[in-house]
Chain A
Amino acid sequence: MTAVVEVSNLSKRYDDVVAVKDVSFSVQEGRCFGLLGPNGAGKTTTIEMMEGLITPSGGEISFFGKSLNKESLKEIGIQFQHTALQDFLTVGETLDLFGAFYPNPANKQRVMEMCDLVEIKDRRHQKLSGGQKQRLLLALALINDPKILFLDEPTTGLDPHARRNFWDLITKIKQQNKTIILTTHYMDEAEYLCDDIVIMDQGSIIAQNTPSKLLSEHFSGAIIRLPVENLNGLSIEEFGRAFGHHHVDIDAVDVETSISNLLKKGVKLDGLQVKSANLDDLFIKLTGHQLKSAERN
């Protein structure tokens, strides 16, 4: 598989703050690549450097083997986390405007059909719902028929139904062999959409692989979740890690053995849950460790 984007030793510094530290990864053609991390992890800074909007302090970015330049923008489509459009324009007029920026724009009707905008093409974009607005922004990112699509937290603020519709849309786009680079802090979104992920925290990459490999690297068996009050006064660290303020997560290679050990220590099993690990668990496990390290320092 060909790497369409290469990022090498990328870093960004604002005065005394290092937003991104020595980040390297590559994105393969036709894959959905996820940049995950909490707010302030450096995801948006990284993606905006890749989009050419922020000048890196160090490192290199290349598209199809060539260094990033203004011409690269013809090959990429971008949907920002926060953006506004020129007021008083309809959906159709906004697409016409952005289509005019490119020498070979995509067919507007086809883009509207794909993003389910045909019925609202004459509606002013200020009057769109959150989900419709996100679909319009996605359509604008697709109007130049890009090979690479950047989506920065595309479903933030959407209700569950609109999010699920948006995911289906992204899946359809992915089927057209487009490469998608996505940032999100929704782990279920990353798990649903991404083929490869990078988890960032405090400007650095702390994990990088396919979701299934990352889960198998960090978890085996299942997770046992118990209310904290069941621990009979024992410390959370003796069993596993905190999940919120009221629960403890215990990694269990063998569920039966783990439950037997808990009973021996006098732990009550009321409210016990057994579940497979997901990216949410991985994220909490990884960033939780990082935060503790930072606190010790």
Chain B
Amino acid sequence: MKIFFTRFYAILKARNLEFFRDRSSLAWSVIFPFLLLVGFAVIFTDDGKDLFKVGILNAPATATATTAVATPKDSEAFLAIQHIEFVNYQNKETALAKLRQHRLDLLVDFSTSQYWLNETSPNGYFAEKLLLGAAAQSQDLQPSPQPQLVKWTKKSVEGRQIRYLDWVLPGILGMNMMFSCLFGVGYVIVRYRKNMVLKRLNATPVTALEFLTAQVVSRLMIVMFLSSLVFIGCDLMFNFYMLGSYLDLIIIAILGAFALISLGLMIASRSRSEELTGGLLNLATWPMMILSGVWFSLEGSPEFIQNVSSLLPLTHLVEGARAIMTEGATLMDIKDHVLTLVIMTAIFLGIGTVMFRWEGDGR
């Protein structure tokens, strides 16, 4: 057992030195997610731009007193909110198409007290809250002792507004972890195999288990260190929304990284070709980029898409981290994500270890 740890530690140390001394790669690992977040911050906090875009069907001026359930004061209060871009529509189908495409966050018809919301749009959620809040505010201001009831669908209203930046942060950090885990392990192992570093190690008493364990732990340390660095740095700048426990966040991040590293190991278990491995890694990363809820919510998307999404480890990492950060969820609340990541890790690691070859196919 002592020799296992001696060998494990030697390989771990060598790999960490290799990574941290590669200045250009290290710099990029920090700068890329930072730039991405700064970019989003610039785009979504620019004073000259509106935060939400709301479509208004049958604009209030055309509403008649007999058909309206919402009062004119409702529309006035809502339309007076700053940083919302209001767009009038006469054709409901056109407006609904835009809503479906996320080109509108909310569509409101004051004449019938109806509103339409795209469930997959995080901005829509907030716009909806603003609408309901405005309606409630206008009732409070009515001088009548018996205020007219407004029949909007009642929703709970968050006290503090969540920026898109807060919502997208777990996705961007998760995506960066995904690239670091998959390419950082997959490419490195294939490069080692191709330039015969693995062949040289195979000519020593080092076992595959010792080597692979060191690679996994090394990448885990690197990913967690860099992600923490980016998170802390960006948090100092943007003061992220964080309702849950940092410990829970770290645990879900470690589980997610572990699952992604194991996936990288599995993909790189045999191949000697960087081109093939690059293709396989892209095959794994692109669906996760799109279908893991990094940029937009998949709630309300077709069941098939949601089923595919649930098979991707990044989905569970992002959704788990997002629930902790924006909803204050605990590990128990997200136990499905935790359990799925543990099972995925066991499967990927098991297959990767069994399939692993020092010299790859062809020898």
Contact = CB atoms under 8 A, between A and B. Distances in A.
A52 B363 CA distance: 13
B343 interface: no
Contact of A96 (B10, B15, B203): B10
B199 A80 contact: yes
A192 interface: no
Contacts of A140: 200
The B interface, classified by DSSP as helix, strand, loop or mixed, is helix
B202 A53 contact: yes
Contacts of A78: 200, 203
Contacts of B17: 88-89, 93
Contacts of A74: 205
Given A82-B196, A93-B14, A100-B9, A87 B202 contact: no
For B6, B22, B205, which residue has the most chain A Cβ atoms within 10 angstroms?
B205
A80 B199 CA distance: 9
B10 A100 contact: yes
A78 B363 CA distance: 19
Interface in B250-272: none
A97 B10 CA distance: 5
A33 to B, nearest CB: 18
Contacts of A82: 196
Given A97-B11, A103-B3, A53 B199 contact: yes
A101 B210 CA distance: 10
B206 interface: yes
A52 B348 CA distance: 28
Interface string B181-219: 000000000001001110110111111000000000000
Interface residues of A, number: 28
Given A84-B195, A100-B9, A89 B14 contact: yes
Contacts, number: 69
A83 B196 contact: yes
Interface in B1-57: 3, 6-7, 9-11, 13-15, 17-18, 21-22
B144 to A, nearest CB: 77
Given A53-B203, A73-B205, A93-B17, A86 B197 contact: yes
A102 interface: yes
A85 B200 contact: yes
A88 B15 contact: no
B218 to A, nearest CB: 11
B22 A88 contact: yes
B302 to A, nearest CB: 46
Interface string A31-66: 000000000000000000001111000000000000
Interface string A154-169: 0000000000000000
B205 A70 contact: yes
A144 B206 CA distance: 13
Contacts of B205: 70-71, 73-74, 101-102
A80 B202 CA distance: 12
B359 interface: yes
A53 B360 CA distance: 12
A98 interface: yes
A251 B351 CA distance: 63
Contacts of A144: 204
14 contacts: A52-B203, A83-B195, A83-B196, A84-B195, A85-B200, A86-B15, A88-B18, A88-B21, A89-B18, A93-B14, A93-B17, A96-B10, A97-B11, A102-B204
10 pairs of A and B residues whose beta carbons are closest in the complex: A100-B10, A84-B195, A88-B21, A101-B204, A78-B203, A83-B196, A83-B200, A97-B14, A88-B18, A73-B205
